[in-house]
Amino acid sequence: MAGGEPVFRRPGRPRQRGRPPSPPLTELPAGRSLAPSSVRRRRSAGPARRAAAAATGEPAIIVGVSSPSQALVPGAPSAMRQAGDRLLEAAPGVITWVLLLSPAWIPALFASGGAFAVAIAVLFFDLYWFLRSFMVVTGIWSTYFKMRRDMRTDWLARCREDDLPPGCPDPLDFHHLSIIPTYTEPYHVLEQTCQAIVDANYPPALKLIGIITRETDRPGWANVARLRERFGDQVGGFFHIKDPMEPPLVPGKSAAMNWGGRDMVRRLSELGYDLDRVLVTDLDSDYRVHREYFGWISYHHARCPGRDAVIWQPVPLFHNNIWEVPTAIRVMSATTSQWQMFLHSRPHRLVAFSSYTCSLRFIHEVGYWDKDVIPEDSRFYWKSFFRFGKEFSMRSVWLPLYGDSPQSRDYASTHLSQYNQIKRWAWGITDVPYVLRRLFKHPEIPMSLRLRRFSNLFLNHLNWIFLPVLLMFGSSLPVLVSVDFSITDLGQSLWLYSSLILCVTLAITVALIALEALMLPPKPASWGPLRRSAAYLQYFSYPVVGLMLSVLPALEAHTRLLLGKYLEYRVTEKV
């Protein structure tokens, strides 16, 4: 054991058959992903580029490979392997475009018979969405009532007073480490995030903060120094994590968390912490934890039978600056929050999103976050699934985590920032080839469970694009493409039938408006009665707003992967 570093092992915990061994704490392996991917091919840096890097103090990030499998595995893969990798990458985009254009090409190929089949399919999906909308609204309201119940509970008092089942650890044995990756965030954003951690209803000595900056980010260093001076004596530990950005990597949150996780394992091991008793929250820089968050997690984690392989997912609500952003951004933030609330009502569909909590031991055994991906949350979920199999679970935290809506320096850049944020989320489509490559290599996981989770992944990304476009334009295309069909009774009535069903479905928005009225912070005092009332009508604009700021960026993400035009990480601007 090099350097006498302490290695914490749980006594009497045999490794289960079929599970890959966890890496020793002293080796801290690189976050490895064999998926071809989001790493863009770059030429090796020549003397000019190296000189420029030296002059500016920036690291020359050189990735001379087209996929992380080449970067992290000795020897380049064969031409056959590379071709197979590209085929898996291209498959989701091909399927997306084939389905997206199906209302046009099916009537074109099969004349009126094909147009009739498309018309029936359109009406079927209209009715499906009408019925599903009731399920979505019911799920959202169910989540709301659970959140309201748990937000009113003093979870620290319950940690101290409630009896523990036999064999459960004391909830107050757990330290909470919030790891916050930052890059270009202004001081006031980080200050509010740290203030929420300090104000949380949990013993100060059991709260730890780790802030990640790049090694070359001197303004970031200054922000961390100010934050430590203000909050350092109000928590049990305040750590500045300086990321050297060692290539190969894709600069972004996942690479930063990869280094931050390793650094904190090393530091806390040296300080004598039990990694099983350190709960890590991967916290975005603009997120504010609820006052009862840490107490809630400790209470339930101590009582959870599967605590060794669990990720706790709170409900993200993008409400911090909701009244300061344009209408379209407000609509997107509200619908994103409500969609996340619905997913919490369907545990089998819940996937790690943005910020979440798990033990530091769990993070180490999974192998940390990957350095070569953009969607760090969903990729960490899939690494956890293939590492722990059927033991792994996502558990809902019935508390909100408050985040900012995209807000930039001006009106146009704010909308562009929202577009890029959704595109980055939609880049989770890269998980499809990653999962396919591993789907049949884990016989220790029941095949039904593997297929079910993969189908949820693929259908979610597919419906993100296909279903809205089909609902909005599917009734028009068969009529435009097939003249013979357009003169039939169904052809002349299709648009009317479809519009009636969708208009009734849109009326259900009233139930979501009522929910927003209960959840949103108070409107600005300067707003008059007319503007206050009109704010609720904005949600009826979602069909158009969603098409521009949700469907189009998702379609771009699918198309980029299809063409091999890999996405680069762009930080959502904060003001």
Reported as a single tens digit per residue, the pLDDT across 433-477 is 999 999 999 999 999 999 999 999 999 999 999 999 999 898 888
Length of the chain in residues, anyone?
575
* Of residues 529 and 151, more confidently modeled: 151
Query: Distance between CA 555 and CA 566 in Å, rounded?
Result: 14
Question: Does residue 38 lie within any of the structural domains?
Answer: no
* Least-confidence region, from 64-68, 88-92, 326-330: 64-68
Cα end-to-end distance, the chain, whole Å: 47
pLDDT beyond 90 at 49: no
- Mean pLDDT within 221-240: 97
* Of residues 530 and 568, more confidently modeled: 530
Q: With the CA atoms of 287, 291, 292 and 295 taken in that order, what torsion angle do they form, in degrees rounded to the nearest 10? A: 90
Q: What is the pTM of this model?
A: 0.85
- Mean pLDDT within 383-404: 97
How open is the CA angle 540-545-548, to the nearest 5 degrees? 160
Provide, rounded to the nearest whole percent, the portion of the chain with pLDDT above 90: 71
Q: How confident is the model at residue 44 (pLDDT cuts 50, 70, 90)?
A: very low
406 Cβ contact list (under 8 Å, min separation 6): 325, 329, 414, 417, 418, 421, 572, 573
Q: How confident is the model at residue 385 (pLDDT cuts 50, 70, 90)?
A: very high
Question: Does residue 24 lie within any of the structural domains?
Answer: no
If one counts every other C-beta atom within 10 angstroms of the C-beta of residue 101, the result is: 13
pLDDT beyond 60 at 19: no
Number of domains present in the structure of the chain:
1
Domain range spanning residue 317?
Answer: 80-575
Question: Does residue 566 lie within any of the structural domains?
Answer: yes
- Mean pLDDT within 261-265: 97
pLDDT beyond 70 at 13: no
407 Cβ contact list (under 8 Å, min separation 6): 321, 324, 325, 329, 414, 417, 573, 574, 575
Question: Does residue 390 lie within any of the structural domains?
Answer: yes
Q: What is the pLDDT of residue 508?
A: 83
- Mean pLDDT within 11-22: 47
Query: Distance between CA 333 and CA 139 in Å, rounded?
Result: 18
Q: What is the pLDDT of residue 36?
A: 36
* Of residues 60 and 535, more confidently modeled: 535
- The strands making up 278-282's β-sheet, listed across from edge to edge, are 237-243, 207-214, 175-181, 278-282, 356-359, 310-317, 393-402, 288-289
Question: Does residue 63 lie within any of the structural domains?
Answer: no
Question: Does residue 51 lie within any of the structural domains?
Answer: no
Q: How confident is the model at residue 22 (pLDDT cuts 50, 70, 90)?
A: low
Q: How far is CA 292 from the centre of its chain?
A: 22
Query: Distance between CA 572 and CA 285 in Å, rounded?
Result: 11
350 Cβ contact list (under 8 Å, min separation 6): 313, 343, 344, 394, 396
- Mean pLDDT within 509-535: 89
pLDDT digits (tens, 9 = 90+) for 308-329: 999 999 999 999 999 999 999 9
pLDDT beyond 80 at 538: yes
pLDDT beyond 90 at 404: yes
Q: What is the pLDDT of residue 26?
A: 45
Provide, rounded to the nearest whole percent, the portion of the chain with pLDDT above 70: 86
Q: What is the pLDDT of residue 574?
A: 65
Query: Distance between CA 357 and CA 313 in Å, rounded?
Result: 7
Q: What is the pLDDT of residue 330?
A: 94
Q: What is the pLDDT of residue 424?
A: 94
345 Cβ contact list (under 8 Å, min separation 6): 138, 139, 140, 142, 143
Q: What CATH number should be reported for the domain holding residue 418?
A: 3.90.550.10
Find the DSSP H helices in 246-400. Answer: 253-270, 293-303, 327-344, 360-366, 376-388
Question: Does residue 155 lie within any of the structural domains?
Answer: yes
Residue type, 152: R
Between helix 218-231 and helix 187-199 the angle, nearest 10°, is 30
Spatial CA neighbour of 488 closest among 475, 499, 479: 479
- Give the pair of three-digit tokens for residue 297: 């997690």
pLDDT beyond 60 at 60: no
- Mean pLDDT within 198-208: 98
pLDDT beyond 70 at 558: yes
pLDDT digits (tens, 9 = 90+) for 106-152: 999 998 899 999 999 999 999 999 999 999 999 999 999 999 999 99
Tell me the average pLDDT of the chain: 87
For residue 40, the number of C-alpha atoms closer than 13 Å in the C-beta half-sphere is: 12
Q: What is the pLDDT of residue 21?
A: 59
Helix-then-strand count for the chain, H and E: 22, 8
Residue 317: strand pairing partners: 402
Question: Does residue 249 lie within any of the structural domains?
Answer: yes
Q: What is the pLDDT of residue 536?
A: 83
Helix then strand then coil, in percent of the chain rounded to 5, is 60, 10, 30
